[in-house]
Amino acid sequence: MEDNKIREAVQFLSEGDKATRKGWFKKPEWDVAGQNYEKAASCFKAARSYDQAIQAYQKASDALFKSDSLYMAAKTMESAANLAAQQLKQPERASEMYKKASDLYQAHMTPDRAGEMLEKAARALEPVSVDGAIDYYVAACNLFESEDRGRFAVDTFKKTIAIMIKNKRYAEAVDIMHRLSKIYLGINHQQGLNKTYLSIIITLLALEDEVEAKKQFQLFCQNAFIQSEESAISSSLLDAFEQGDQDLLDQVVRRPIVTYLDNNVAKLSREIQVPGGLSKPPPTTYIPPPKPITSNNDRLQGHEQKNDFPIYNQHQNDSYFLHNQEQKGNLNDYAEKKSNSLHDQLQKNDKRLPDENAPYNISDKAEVLPTGDQIHLPSSTTPVPPSHSNSNQNTSIEEDNGELC
């Protein structure tokens, strides 16, 4: 089937070539040639011969242009660019053909389609050349502005801003934002204007141009922007920069108004750092010191009671553990013997007789005898202190050979 399509395409090409020839009495029929070339391109495309199809589309575009059919010439060139971008994966070649299609649409006085072709050229070239893609995006924005078609170019402006911020070309992005704000003013779109103003402030702060951000904020506050939430957030951002408070800045950029901005602008806001700003240290938590362990025995007994010391229970039969247990038993026996010896010593001290030279009271040695008996004292009696004598007593003590009458 593919071979048949290719043979059919070749036949259409030959017919198209015949239509472009001129003779003595014959002029070139560019419109007929363009139609044949377009048919040949369709056959090549069906046969998956994309390079030949692109060449046939280009021939058809040239023939249609010469026949003053600008719109169809632009359309066939767009078809060739689509094949180069989608099937052959040739972004440079595709971008050039999109640019030609844009020129043809603009010549046909269709600026919307012309701008769309420039945007397609930028998207095709973006993976291989960011600078070339930005140039095409800016060219599309210029085209919409020159033709006073700004209301149809809002998405194109946003895409241009996005790719510029993504590639850290902030100054150019601010310029495009100012142009977008004028479009919003022209169409009386206050919500879009407020978001654009906030995006400008964020981008200028990302450039660390605090002075310019304050100037722009004062200019923006001359209209209804001052009553919006975006204005309050802009003021908070400027305050954070002025105070050098990174924590305040981080809190502000987490608010929903900022997160609802375009993705690249919202991401940029979270990357802003206050020059020389200091974050507050995180609160410290008090960790109490561990409780002291009095002895290993207490610790082991506590774990045995709670039954939450599996390692101890597991190693009870280990030699090291048994050796420790033997030592503990020996120590206990020694302590018991020591205690018994001390107890015996105390009992012996209690039974020991008092020293002969030690003083004692008569009442401690005297015996109470019946009446008429005599009390015998040792031969060496201790003299009674004077305090024990009483001159008024009727009892007389006489010492006669150691006897007391």
Q: Are residues 62 and 5 in the same domain?
A: yes
Residue 235 lies in a domain: yes
* Distances in whole angstroms, Cα of residue 383 to Cα of each of 360, 365, 374, 375: 11, 14, 19, 16
- Yes or no: say if 178 and 193 are a contact pair by the CB < 8 Å rule: no
Distance in angstroms (rounded) separating the CA atoms of residues 124 and 90:
9
**Cα separation, 298 vs 250, whole angstroms:** 52
User: 218 and 258 share a domain?
Assistant: yes
- For residues 61 and 77, membership in a common domain is answered with no
Domain of residue 189, CATH code: 1.25.40.10
The answer to whether position 357 is within a domain reads: no
The answer on 130 and 80 residing in a single domain is yes
Q: Reply yes or no on whether the pLDDT at 305 is more than 80.
A: no
**Shared-domain flag, residues 128 and 183:** no
Domain-ending residue, one of 261, 278, 295: 278
Residue 96 lies in a domain: yes
Q: What distance in Å separates the CA atoms of residue 259 and residue 367, rounded to the nearest whole number?
A: 113
Q: How far apart are CA 233 and CA 257, in angstroms?
A: 8
Least confident residue range of 211-215, 334-338, 401-405: 401-405
One domain, residues 184 and 274: yes
pLDDT digits (tens, 9 = 90+) for 286-304: 455 555 544 444 544 444 4
- Residue bearing the bigger pLDDT, 302 or 253: 253
pLDDT of 190 above 90: yes
**pLDDT of res. 404:** 39
**Per-residue pLDDT tens over the stretch 38-97:** 999 999 999 999 999 999 999 999 999 999 999 999 999 999 999 999 999 999 999 999
Residue 377: is its pLDDT beyond 50?
no
pLDDT of 382 over the 50 cut = no
351 residue type, one letter = K
**pLDDT computed for residue 149 by the predictor:** 83
**Do residues 243 and 207 share a domain?**
yes
Q: Tell me whether residue 231 is in a domain.
A: yes
The kind and range of the H/E element at 400 are strand 399-400
Structural domain ending residue among the three candidates 278, 305, 328 = 278
pTM above 0.85, yes or no: no
Residue 154 resides in a domain: no
Q: How confident is the model at residue 156 (pLDDT cuts 50, 70, 90)?
A: very high
Report residue 151's pLDDT band, with 50, 70 and 90 as the boundaries: confident
Task: Tell whether 142 is covered by a domain.
Answer: yes
Among 88-92, 281-285, 328-332, 395-399, the least confident range: 395-399
- 75 and 64, same structural domain? no
- If one counts the domains in the chain, the total is 3
Instruction: Tell me, yes or no, whether 95 and 121 share the same domain.
Output: yes
The share of the chain scoring above pLDDT 70, in percent, equals 68
Mean pLDDT of 248-258: 93
Q: Can you list the alpha helix ranges (DSSP code H) found in 221-318?
A: 229-243, 246-253, 256-259, 263-270, 296-306, 310-314
* b/e map 238-271, b = 16+ CB within 10 Å: bebbeeebbebbbebbeeebbeebbebbbebbee
| β-pair partners for 345 | none
Residue that finishes a domain, picked among 257, 278, 299: 278
Band of residue 213 on the pLDDT scale cut at 50, 70, 90: very high
Residue 394, in any domain of the structure: no
Q: Same structural domain for residues 201 and 112?
A: no
Residue 51, in any domain of the structure: yes
- H helix count then E strand count, the chain: 19, 2
Do 35 and 9 belong together in one domain? yes
Q: How many CB atoms are closer than 10 A to CB 66?
A: 15
Kind plus residue range of the DSSP H or E element containing 403: strand 403-404
Query: What stretches of 67-189 show up as alpha helix (H) in DSSP?
Result: 70-86, 91-107, 111-125, 130-146, 154-166, 170-187
What is the extent of the structural domain holding 127? 71-147
Contact 133, 99 (CB under 8 A): no
Q: Chain-wide mean pLDDT for the chain?
A: 78
The tens digit of pLDDT for each residue in 222-244 reads: 888 999 999 999 999 999 999 98
Do 299 and 311 meet the contact criterion of CB atoms below 8 Å apart?
no
Mark whether 198 and 237 lie in a shared domain.
yes
